[in-house]
Structure 1
Amino acid sequence: MGDAPPRGIRHRIGGRAALWVAFVLVHGLLAWLNLFAPGYPMGDVTGVYRVWAETAQHGWLRMGIDTPWVYPILAFAPMTAALAFGAEWYGQAWLAMVAVLDAIAFSLLLGRGTFSLRRRAAAWWWVAFLAMLGPIALGRIDAVTVPFAVVGLLWAAGRPRVAATLLTVAAWIKVWPAALVASLVVALRRRVEVATMAVALSAGILGVSLIAGSGANAFGFVAAQAGRGLQIEAPLAVPWLWWIVAGTDEATIVYDRDILTFQVEGPGADAAAAVTTPLMALGVAAVLAAGVRAAMRRAPVATLLPPLALAFTTVLMLANKVGSPQFVTWLAAPVILGIVLGGSRFLTPAALTASIALLTHVLYPYWYGWLLIANPGFVLLLTLKVVLLFALLSWAVAKVWQAGSVHRAPRADAAA
């Protein structure tokens, strides 16, 4: 034990100050990569979001109101906010906005009271995860929703109505946090409060958009997603990519100028894209059934909520016709909650998620062109990523099932 660092050094390395230094350094690095790294990491932000925001600013076209849009209506709020310092500083303003939101969530994760080992581990994991995932961790609309999701899950048991509010707002920015709302409804005893708040807030958001003149365009994101083809990063696209690697002339990679994504085309690709929606429904139903079983058997919130949220989120990723690299950011919130509530019991999903993030960083953005030409090495990396996602889902579903395997007496929710 003589080689162990003095306690004071260990405290400084593992304390709040060290974590904040790491947080600032990682966000600074990711901001620099977004602005200057090869591969156009901020292409969606400066090339698409800014255009949408400017067209609305000039009174030409309001996405989601005057025309159908690929995103829910509240996605327009952060896109517009990034115009605060002018169009020429749009990218920098976007990165600063995301960093501030992350900082708020990070501060709440660290807390003001006793600095527990689990919260410290969760904070270090989040910083490492962001570094492993790379610039995409900040450079998409998904990055805005992650801090809402982190805080919403952390406050779920103790402040369910606040948690429902945060997660519902996030879901009206990008749909995926709706899965976390579903997790709360299943796992919490105060589920009626969660459901009531989510429904009421959603009705209010829809009402405001209708008053603004959206009409059916308020639901345009549903139809826009349904009309997509099979994007090359989608798990179901892997067989077609390997078919291209094998030298076929029947399958190819094309660019969809309407959706602004690269997709696979070939025999069966459209059918595979169409089947993703029923597959997602089946996957969500299976996870829901396992979660309801565990809740009916009085599974503790601390045992049930983290794997249930992780299972719902992973299903949305695997049964998705899009599969964009930024989807990996969704995994951060349930893993952070799992580490806070479960400690080392969440080591396996934490390691799997970090590995998925690292593989995603290799695939995008710097060498993304290799995937676009179906380079065998990069198709293999994408295949490995999909395998790890399946492993993550299997672990989460198994833990949800285990949580409901023992009958327990009724007990009150414990705050996270």
Structure 2
Amino acid sequence: MAARPDGARSIAGLLPGTTLSRLASSPLSLWIGFLVVHLVVGGLALTEGKGLGDVMWVYKPWAQLAAQGTEIVGVNADWVYPFAAIVPVMLPLLFGADNYVGGWLTMVLLLDAAAFAVLIVGREPRRLVAGWFWLAFLLLLGPIAVGRLDSVSAALAIVGVLWLTLHERAAVVVLTVATWIKVWPAAILLAAVIALKSRWRIVATGAITSAIIVAVPLIFGAGLHVLSFITMQTGRGIQIEAPVATFWMWQAAFHVPGAVVYYDRDLLTFQVTGEGTVAAGSLMNPLFGLTAIVVALIGIRSLRRGTPYTRILPELSLALVTAFIAFNKVGSPQYITWLAAPVIIGLVYQGRGFKTPAVLVLVTATLTQVIYPYLYDGLLIPLPIMVAVLTVRNLMYFVILGWTIGALWRKRHAAEAAGDLLPAHAWPFRAAPDAHPVPVREAG
């Protein structure tokens, strides 16, 4: 039970003052905060449809065509998303086609509530801090936090990382399902394979879960449509929000001949073109692949030097996910939701030790809401001031990536990780009556 005072200081340190600390630790306060944040963000999303354009004009038609049997994306038509994404796309139809948007927001609210319950159950102080971080993150990110498929995969990923050291098979199943909705949680699975000793069990569980998911569309004759989410991304141009687009966005802002922002009617995105954009776009996947290999090797090096997984899994997950965004020629604003899960598990394991990346991610979320959805038109012109904000936001990815690589690279002495705690609860699974956070040195 000696682990409790250290964790308690993390709340007191974050919110000085006994009364404020007690309020912050109260489950009622947390759930009131959860509801207020979702009402605010959902209300902002509903204002003139800001942040819900894809839900209304893209997801809903997909769902209706699938319900009619006319066209089932991923089965008898190519699709930009993995097959399992059809489930959250169709679920809001249960509320009726006219209430699809409300059904979508309700679905996201319920998924986030389940993830929030997994996060704060047991009132472990570091998990409460992580809970407040997530609420702040959602509020600072704004409407886009609830208006895309990424919000579904993000909630599942948070559940997966919290279960990982307590109910591993269930965690890997959830993370694999999340990967078959949006690909990015594969980065967390890769980090787990590197950081945890049960890596082959993780690989086997993920492979079996994937096989079951893929079998469903194949039974209905999907054929190669089931892999179309890979091929459909290769030929697209550079989206204006992507870090690689920054150079040409500045050119377009100062009217350099040939640098133009345009709308791709096939992919429903704003992209930038100019001299060299085709070559730059073709380099993004190789650059990401190279970065992922280097980061993975640094993670393996850290593991071999005896660094505990509480000091590898969060940093490695955050590094791989951030690299996925930084070297992506799409760069949509909803990608920021991916960063929540690695930061949350870092705060749960390390407490104050993960404060720096948590702050960096909150700043990145804030800059993203400045860009989208309210001032997004300023990027379409584009205005220099908005390109400047975009530039700073894109640089934040590389700052986060640099911090995580540096954290993985430097030697971690045992004393540095001595204060790391492993979660004791994993709602809705039963925990021992006297369960409490376990210092990593004891768990090892």
Select the residue among 43, 56, 76 that pairs with 1:46: 56
Counterpart-to-counterpart distance in 2, 1:294 and 1:164: 23
Aligned positions, number: 406
Counterpart-to-counterpart distance in 1, 2:204 and 2:348: 27
Counterpart-to-counterpart distance in 2, 1:5 and 1:250: 55
Equivalent in the alignment of 2:8 = none
Matched, 1:20 2:31: yes
Equivalent in the alignment of 1:125 = 133
Equivalent in the alignment of 2:217 = 209
Q: Deviations over 1:162-186 (max 9, x none)?
A: 1111100000000000101101100
Match runs of 1:83-98 below 5 Å:
83-98=93-108
Counterpart-to-counterpart distance in 1, 2:254 and 2:56: 37
Measure how far apart 1:5 and its partner are. Answer: 8.9
TM-score normalized by structure 2?
A: 0.88
Q: Is the 8 A contact 2:348 2:421 kept in 1?
A: no
Secondary structure of the residue that 2:272 maps to in structure 1?
Answer: strand
Q: Is the 8 A contact 1:254 1:262 kept in 2?
A: yes
Q: Deviations over 1:123-179 (max 9, x none)?
A: 111101100000000000000011111111112122221111110000000000010
Select the residue among 318, 326, 329 that pairs with 1:318: 326
Select the residue among 69, 76, 80 that pairs with 1:59: 69
Match runs of 1:98-137 below 5 Å:
98-112=108-122, 115-137=123-145
Measure how far apart 1:414 and its partner are. Answer: 7.5
Percent identical pairs in the alignment equals 42
Counterpart-to-counterpart distance in 2, 1:215 and 1:6: 61
Equivalent in the alignment of 2:371 = 363
Equivalent in the alignment of 1:245 = 253
Unaligned runs of 5+ in 1: none
Measure how far apart 1:10 and its partner are. Answer: 3.8
Matched, 1:280 2:288: yes
Unaligned runs of 5+ in 2: 1-14, 424-444
Equivalent in the alignment of 2:264 = 256
Q: Is the 8 A contact 2:310 2:349 kept in 1?
A: yes
The one-letter code sitting in structure 1 at the alignment partner of 2:275 is P
Q: Is the 8 A contact 2:66 2:73 kept in 1?
A: yes
Matched, 1:394 2:402: yes
Q: Is the 8 A contact 2:25 2:125 kept in 1?
A: no
Q: Is the 8 A contact 2:349 2:422 kept in 1?
A: no
Taking a change above 3 Å as real, the CA distance of residues 166 and 366 of structure 1, as seen in their structure-2 partners, is same
Equivalent in the alignment of 2:336 = 328
Q: Deviations over 1:354-408 (max 9, x none)?
A: 00000000100011100111110110001001111100000011111225x5699
Counterpart-to-counterpart distance in 1, 2:344 and 2:336: 14
Select the residue among 32, 44, 53 that pairs with 2:43: 32
Match runs of 1:171-186 below 5 Å:
171-186=179-194
Q: Is the 8 A contact 1:297 1:407 kept in 2?
A: no
Stretches (4+) displaced over 3 A:
4-10, 405-408, 413-416
Taking a change above 3 Å as real, the CA distance of residues 332 and 201 of structure 1, as seen in their structure-2 partners, is same
Secondary structure of the residue that 1:316 maps to in structure 2?
Answer: helix
Counterpart-to-counterpart distance in 2, 1:250 and 1:135: 33
